[in-house]
A and B are shown apart, each in its own frame.
Chain A
Amino acid sequence: MRLSLTSKLSVISALLPALMVMLVVYIGATSWTAWMSLTNSRMLPNNNFVGFRQYQLLFTNDRWITSVHNIIIYGVLFVSLALLIGILLAVAIDQRVRAEDTIRSIYLYPYSMSFVVTGLVWQWLLNPTLGVQYVLRSWGFAGATFDWIVRPETAIYCLVIAGVWQASGLVMAIMLAGLRGVDDEIWKAARVDGLPKWRVYISIIIPMMGASFATATVLLSTAVVRLYDLSVSMTNGGPGIASEVPAKFVMDHLFERANIGLATAAATTMLVTVIAVVAPYLYWRARKGEVR
């Protein structure tokens, strides 16, 4: 269909904001960040090229090493636990239970809340003097200890607990939609074949849910990279620097520690990591779209 000049102008005017955003914000800002990471900018940006020195500094920086270490622990545990719990919840709800809508709402409501809220609630629950530990002891488990949040080597696991609590419902919703999309006749065929229900899930249904898995995994992974609010509100990176995460490292060095070069080097490292993960996924989706 050929477009008249007026139509063309209209289309261009409608796409102008998106184009501007793409050029200025995404391409412009990303390149600028990448460039800054190659300079020795401190409080104010400058253009003194220093090559990859900021990256050398970054990967010898204790705080950054801890951050990376933490985000790997958090990422692996958060994604796998949220997937596991989410699937179990979805399969449970899929059994035609009573009050399905209510149960689903209960599982999903944490996802509607902000990370700040989630962080504060769990900070309170995990507080050893008044929280779960206190409750366990008052119930007679005198030796019960649950003080992970105040111990450097375990603080990051507290973020995992809170994160999983918030995100499992999301996985449940995505997986349930997938389960409900399974052809009813597959279930009938499996019954005629005499397969026990658990076997049907493991051998037939779950392997069919590749797309749901991919969607959930990508959503959870993006949340991992963006992890910032939860760390700030729950532990503020502490005790000490025990629960620092990369996004917080960048923010702190940009705005409090006035080290733009180091911060942008960290941000660029995050960017490269994300693209390395996301690009194959988007490519896979695009190819699948073509096949369909």
Chain B
Amino acid sequence: MERSNVDITKLQIGFGGLKVLENLDLHVDASEFLVLLGPSGCGKSTLLNAIAGLIEVKGGQIRIGDRDVTWAEPKDRGIAMVFQSYALYPRMSVRKNLSFGLKVARTPQGEIDSRVGEAAKMLRLTELLDRRPSELSGGQRQRVAIGRALVRHAGVYLFDEPLSNLDAQLRAELRVEIKRLHARLGATMIYVTHDQIEALTLADRIAVMQGGVIQQLDTPKKIYREPANRFVASFVGSPAMNFLRGRIVRNGGPAFIAGDVRFDLNGYAFRSPLSDAPAVLGIRPEHIEIIGSDHPSAVTARVEMVEPMGADALIWCRLADGTAFSFRADADAKAGAGDVLGLRFPAEAFSLFDDQSGQRL
């Protein structure tokens, strides 16, 4: 099986006067699993469709497997694609759905049979080959759609929100299945989703997009731990990251002042030179711990509400100045509304953002 890399340079796409993507660059390695993550309308599906050749580009270049395919027909690009609505051919059996494209391309019958058999086996579709799509469940339909992509033996597999139409449990199952498939085939995959869990679990690298611009392109771990800006920080992670407004002061060791609370910044890896300026401090709920209010470095906060979440509990608090935040605690943590807690905010888990630009400091 071919494994192609994908190179996009200075890609421009617009509809009428509206510019959707402008001068976008992206490189995907062979065998890489890249996820395009972002809210709806961020341009991620447009980018995927452009790679597939389903929409016309205004400028720039797309190379797949080191061939310029900017103006090539989708079928000649060495790609295969899986769609959100499955897009199965409703009047054809599963077998026909898998084989129809190959047949039209005049692939020898023996080759068709072996590819269909192989894909069906891999996706546990063998029993279903003679059924119509309308006789299948949502999860089975999506497996057929994936199978239709697999038989193409493409260099790049494109997934356009393939799991969005499924319920939560099926989504989790198929997610694992796709991940297994990637591990087994080692194929290049580009996967569009708005679901950050899918992105974090599947991707080798994630490209977080907004407004037609890639905000950050990095490994899931880096995206989660070191978001490049406030958008990425707030979009990734659930429950969401806390944001506290305040300013950075260098006096007496770097610190972040929010109201009359002082957060020590010793241990935070600054990317930009330190200066006194208004900023936003971000911290994920799971990084705040209870340490007892008598501890010298404790920040005190009053509990407003406790949200039990099964394995743990989300505790909503307010600082003295009224700033609200939440943190994760043990499901057994003894805290109730009105309690005053002493909390530790570890500087190495902070993300500091410029108040104006929202960029990481």
CA distance A238 to B345 in the complex (A): 99
B49 to A, closest residue via Cβ: A188
Which residue of A is nearest B151, CB measured?
A193
How many chain A residues touch B (CB < 8 A): the figure is 17
Task: State whether the Cβ of A186 lies closer than 8 Å to any Cβ in chain B.
Answer: yes
**B87 in contact with A183 (CB, 8 Å):** yes
B242 contacts partner chain A, Cβ-Cβ < 8 Å: no
How near does chain B come to A244, taking the closest CB pair, in angstroms?
42
Which has the most chain A C-beta neighbours within 10 Å: B74, B89, B92?
Answer: B89
Assess whether B352 is interfacial by the CB under 8 Å rule.
no
Q: Which of B51-92 contact A (CB under 8 A)?
A: 52-54, 73-76, 79-81, 83-92
A41 to chain B, nearest CB (A): 52
Q: Which of B87, B91, B100 contacts A207 (CB 8 A)?
A: B91
For the complex formed, measure the closest distance between the CB of B48 and the CB atoms of chain A, giving whole angstroms: 11
**Which of A190, A192, A208 meets B80, CB within 8 Å?**
A192
Interface string of A226-242 (1 = CB under 8 A from B): 00000000000000000
The residue in A185, A188, A191, A193 that gathers the most chain B C-beta atoms within 10 A of its C-beta is A193
A-contact 0/1 string along B90-122, CB 8 Å cutoff: 111000000011001100000000000000000
Residue contact B52 to A192, C-beta cutoff 8 Å: yes
Does B247 have its Cβ within 8 Å of any Cβ on chain A? no
Indicate whether B148 reaches chain A with its CB closer than 8 angstroms: yes
Provide the residues of chain A in CB contact with B88, threshold 8 Å.
189
Point out the residue from B74, B84, B101 that lies within 8 Å of A185, measured CB to CB.
Answer: B84
Bound together, the chains give a CA A183 to CA B54 distance in angstroms of: 15
A199 sits at the interface (CB 8 A) = yes
Tell me, in angstroms, the Cα distance from A254 to B284 when the chains sit together: 88
Chain B: minimal CB distance from A187 (Å):
8
Across the interface, which residues of B come within 8 angstroms of A192, CB to CB? 52, 54, 74-75, 79-81, 101, 152
Contact A189 B73 (CB under 8 A): no
Q: Which residues of B contact A196 (CB under 8 A)?
A: 104
Which residue from A191, A195, A208 sits with its C-beta under 8 Å from B54? A191
With the chains together, A207 CA to B49 CA distance in Å?
A: 27
**Chain B residues closer than 8 Å to A191, beta-carbon distance:** 53-54, 73-75
Within 8 A of B (CB), among A179-209: 183, 185-186, 188-196, 199, 203-204, 207-208
Provide the bound-state CA to CA distance between A195 and B160, in Å: 20
Q: Given A189-B148, A192-B74, A192-B79, A204–B89 Cβ distance below 8 Å?
A: yes
Which of B53, B80, B90 has the most A CB atoms < 10 Å from its CB?
B90
Q: Which chain A residue shows the least CB distance to B90? A: A208
Cross-chain contact B83 with A185 (CB below 8 angstroms): yes
Nearest CB on B from A87, distance (A): 16
The verdict on A194 contacting B87 (CB below 8 Å), with A188-B52, A189-B81, A189-B148 known, is no
Q: How far is the CA of A188 from the CA of B51 in the complex (A)?
A: 13
* Cα–Cα distance between A199 and B89 once the two chains are bound (Å): 13
Q: Are B90 and A188 in touch, CB under 8 angstroms?
A: no
Most buried by B among A192, A199, A203: A192
A174 CB to closest chain B CB (Å) equals: 19
Whole-angstrom distance from the CB of B131 to the nearest CB of chain A?
A: 16
Query: Which single member of A186, A194, A207 contacts B101 (CB below 8 Å)?
Result: A194
Nearest B residue to A183 via CB reads: B85
CB distance from A194 to the nearest CB of B (A): 3
CB of A193 within 8 A of CB of B100, answer yes
Residue of B nearest to A187 (CB): B87
Contact check, B104 vs A186: say whether CB atoms are below 8 A apart. no
Q: Which residue of A lies closest to B81 (CB)?
A: A192
Smallest Cβ distance from B124 to chain A, in angstroms?
Answer: 21
Given contacts A207-B91, A208-B91, contact A195 B104 (CB under 8 A): yes
Provide 11 A-B residue pairs closer than 8 Å at the C-beta atoms, listed in order of the A residue.
Answer: A185-B84, A186-B89, A189-B89, A191-B53, A192-B79, A192-B81, A192-B152, A193-B104, A204-B91, A204-B92, A208-B91
Measured CB to CB, the residues of B under 8 A from A are 49, 52-54, 73-76, 79-81, 83-92, 100-101, 104-105, 148, 152, 160
Q: Known contacts A193-B101, A196-B104; can you find 9 more A-B pairs with CB under 8 A?
A: A185-B86, A188-B54, A188-B87, A189-B83, A194-B75, A194-B76, A194-B101, A199-B104, A204-B91
The 3 A-B pairs of least Cβ separation, nearest first, read A194-B75, A193-B101, A185-B87
